Amino acid sequence: MNPFSLTDKTILITGASSGIGKATAILCAEMGAKLVICGRDKERLESVLAELKPNEHQLFLGDLTAPENIDSLMEQLPALDGVVMSAGKGITVPIQFASREKLDDVFNTNFFASVELLRQLIRKKKLNNAASVVIILSIGGTRRFLTGNAVYGSTKAALEAIVKYAAIELASKQIRVNGICPGMVRTPFIGKGALTEEQYQKDMQTYPLKRYGEPEDIANGAVYLLSDAASWVTGHSLVIDGGVTIN
């Protein structure tokens, strides 16, 4: 018996076309799960689907900030044993330049789309009893506060609150809801921000383990929370950050 196995579990993964979502999809498939992977980039999502073995997985192409796409997804979804909400976007901007337009853009992707997806999964009874929901958060939400990260961090802080409330509300069905708070992870987000490579290298030295995370580091945590090994874990925010928040 392997309590970390995902054999016979059907799992939805959003943001599966790159970064943490892609790594999680590949690892979940290797651990025996049957997947529905969701993303906005057709070419990249199809590339991920081609990497998943065996070939029994499904693809859903769509932007989940659009309610009609969530409705369409609900119509196609089988009953689920797990969900990983990994879709998200970042922004680096000081508060004085954080216009309502920028706030709405990041909150729509990181917060509102995830909450609406969870709401519809519950309403449409798409979550099996004892299912596991995993939401990718950030240490930037409630544990590490850097200049320019207020908008992104606030979306993740709001999501972390949803994790706690949903864990309480769904506990009667033995449905677990947890989050993962990564530190800096080498995903496509890096390089799109305001920092130079030299600044990233300097920041990396503030981590006790002297490196940023890899997407697989976070995927390992997601598999644990999805698996029966975490059957008594709910409402928890699992910090995977190379030790930076203990400094």
**247 lies in some domain:** no
Mean pLDDT score of the chain, rounded to an integer?
A: 95
**199 lies in some domain:** yes
Q: pLDDT class for 1, splitting at 50, 70, 90?
A: confident
Please count the other Cβ atoms lying within 10 Å of the Cβ belonging to residue 227. 21
The one-letter amino acid code at 182 reads: P
Radius of gyration of the chain (CA): 17
**29 lies in some domain:** yes
Q: Which two tokens stand for residue 53?
A: 């073995």
**3 lies in some domain:** no
The pLDDT of 28-46, averaged and rounded, is 96
What percent of the chain is modeled with pLDDT above 90? 87
Q: Tell me 177's DSSP state.
A: E
**152 catalytic per annotation:** yes
Q: Is residue 90 a contact partner of residue 44, using CB atoms and an 8 Å limit? A: no
pLDDT of residue 56: 87
**36 lies in some domain:** yes
The 10s digit of each residue's pLDDT in 58-92 is 999 999 999 999 999 999 999 999 999 999 998 88
pLDDT of residue 194: 64
Which of 141 and 188 is assigned the larger pLDDT?
141
Q: Cα separation of 80 and 36, whole Å?
A: 9
Q: Cα separation of 231 and 247, whole Å?
A: 31
Q: Is residue 2 a contact partner of residue 198, using CB atoms and an 8 Å limit? A: no
Distance separating the N- and C-terminal Cα atoms of the chain: 38
What percent of the chain is modeled with pLDDT above 70? 98
Is residue 135's pLDDT more than 80? Answer: yes
Which one of 152, 207, 212, 224 is the catalytic residue? 152
**165 lies in some domain:** yes
Is residue 55's pLDDT more than 80? Answer: no
Q: What is the CATH classification number for the domain harbouring 36? A: 3.40.50.720
Query: Which residue range(s) make up the domain with 21?
Result: 10-242
The pLDDT of 147-158, averaged and rounded, is 94
How many structural domains comprise the chain? Answer: 1
Please count the other Cβ atoms lying within 10 Å of the Cβ belonging to residue 97. 9
Is residue 233's pLDDT more than 90? Answer: yes
Q: Cα separation of 58 and 46, whole Å?
A: 10
Q: Cα separation of 14 and 116, whole Å?
A: 13
**154 lies in some domain:** yes
Which of 133 and 189 is assigned the larger pLDDT?
133
The 10s digit of each residue's pLDDT in 158-203 is 999 999 999 999 999 999 999 999 999 998 777 666 678 888 899 9
- Measured over the CA atoms of residue 17, residue 19, residue 22 and residue 24, the dihedral's sign is negative
The number of residues in the chain equals 247
**222 lies in some domain:** yes
